[in-house]
Amino acid sequence: MAYDRNNVFARILRGEIPAHKVYEDPHTLAFMDVMPQSPGHALVIPRFEAENLHELAPEALAATILTTQRVARAVRKAFDPPGILIAQLNGLGAGQSVFHIHFHIIPRYEGLDLTLHARELADPKVLAGQAEKIRAALE
């Protein structure tokens, strides 16, 4: 499958679709998942065209995982979950639904099961508040 330049993440990178951004640099962008599996669920994407892990250049992957680590630390500081799940899905068979490589940062809380992925849109005001908490934790 060829990279689709009109996938939702490519459109976010071009500014065509709004996102609750938490961090960006010349190589990556981190923002809130609009269909979160738990409070504080963020995504990290590279600013490079690649559907999955197998297509991303090593330098771009390195930048993406470093941003994932940085944002995961901020999520931990902002939300104080007992654990954080880092997920990266490759291909439809693995459950990938947006074909631009991305990492999920999903806080895990005791007694709170994860909601199903890509099922329900979160309240934009809630996401904006969560994004603000993460940005503050990055400083």
Q: Is 128 exposed, middle or buried (0-12, 13-18, 19+ CB in 10 A)?
A: exposed
What pLDDT score was predicted for residue 46? Answer: 98
Q: Is 52 helix (H, G, I), strand (E, B) or coil?
A: coil
Averaged pLDDT for residues 83-94: 94
Retrieve residue 117's tokens: 């992925």
Query: How far, in Å, are 72, 86, 90, 114, 127 from residue 23 at the CA level?
Result: 11, 17, 23, 24, 14
d(CA 42, CA 31): 6
Q: Which is the catalytic residue, given 20, 102, 104, 117? A: 102
102 is catalytic: yes
Per-residue pLDDT tens over the stretch 9-68: 999 999 999 999 999 999 999 999 999 999 999 999 999 999 999 999 999 999 999 999
Residues 6+ apart with CB under 8 A from 88: 53, 101, 102, 103, 104
Domains, the chain, ordered by start: 8-138 (3.30.428.10)
pTM here?
0.94
